[in-house]
Amino acid sequence: MYGAEPVNEESERTAFRKAEKKYKIYYENAKKKKIPRSVDLSEVIDFRSILESFKGGGDLPAGVFELKCDFNQPVFGLVSRPGFYFIPAALSIEEQCHWIRESLTSFPQPPNRTNHNAIYGPLQDLFLAAKEGKVLIEEDTLAENIISEANLDQSNVNTPRWKYIKELDESFSRDAGKSVSASVLLRKLRWSTLGLQFDWSKRSYNIALPHKKIPDKLCMLAKRMAAPAMPCSEEFHPEAAIVNYFGLGDMLGGHLDDMEKDWSKPIVSIRYDSIKCSMFFLLSMSFCLIC
């Protein structure tokens, strides 16, 4: 499923980088607001428009085919990328809203790791802390200042080095570098890992890191989405997941998802578009993916 024909890796990488640069957002110089430069979208495949045309009895674009399988929604593939399938509008608006909430409130919870772990350690209830306007402050700073017990909230603490407080008074002004608002940390949340934890420094899964199973409902969703790419009578059993968070204009650089032990099983990629945010998905190698 991962491409039987040999490819020139260097030429593939160069072509991908050119495409990545082509579709990256660049802004025109403007005094009052950023104005994104126009991008040529003539070669972009619009998954949603393909689905709408298909349901209306229209022809599929050249190079796109319908995968014949026992699935309750149309599944499409690309002739040029064997093993890649996409399911437009796979989730209802209600389902997307549910998983967006889970992505913000549940998935970043320890022992799941996030991009903040390296500096702040595990952060408990980050979304709630941001909603309540709390501030994260280093314990050394706390020891140097007199803070009333009423101003210190220890109920949401799961790290010996940093604590949430309800507000930052004037006595902390000298140590502003040792504090950060929870709302800022929430905006800077870039990823969280579920199930087996991934060691980004070694590019491998570390079974020694504390972790808990992927939530049952998410496992069931992944199994359902993976079904069209699975061999007959086999079931998909997800063990790890990475949740990526994007703001307007953000991008995820080109990379290889090549650390999985069994390459005969698909990688399931789910994106939320309930708020009509446009995004580009660039595919270089013939990975077995489902979007």
CA–CA separation, 34 vs 208, rounded Å?
A: 45
- Closest alpha carbon to 252 in 99, 1, 25: 25
Quick one: angle between helices 216-226 and 93-105, nearest 10? 130
CB neighbour class for 271 (10 Å; exposed up to 12, middle 13-18, buried from 19): middle
Would you say 255 is a known binding-site residue? yes
On whether the CB atoms of residues 291 and 29 are closer than 8 A, the answer is: no
* Strand boundaries in 37-134, DSSP class E: 64-66, 76-78, 81-86, 113-114
Count of helices and strands (H, E) across the chain: 8, 15
The gap from C-alpha 216 to its chain's centroid, in whole angstroms, comes to 19
Query: Residues annotated in the binding site for Fe cation, as ranges?
Result: 255, 257
Binding-site residues: 255, 257
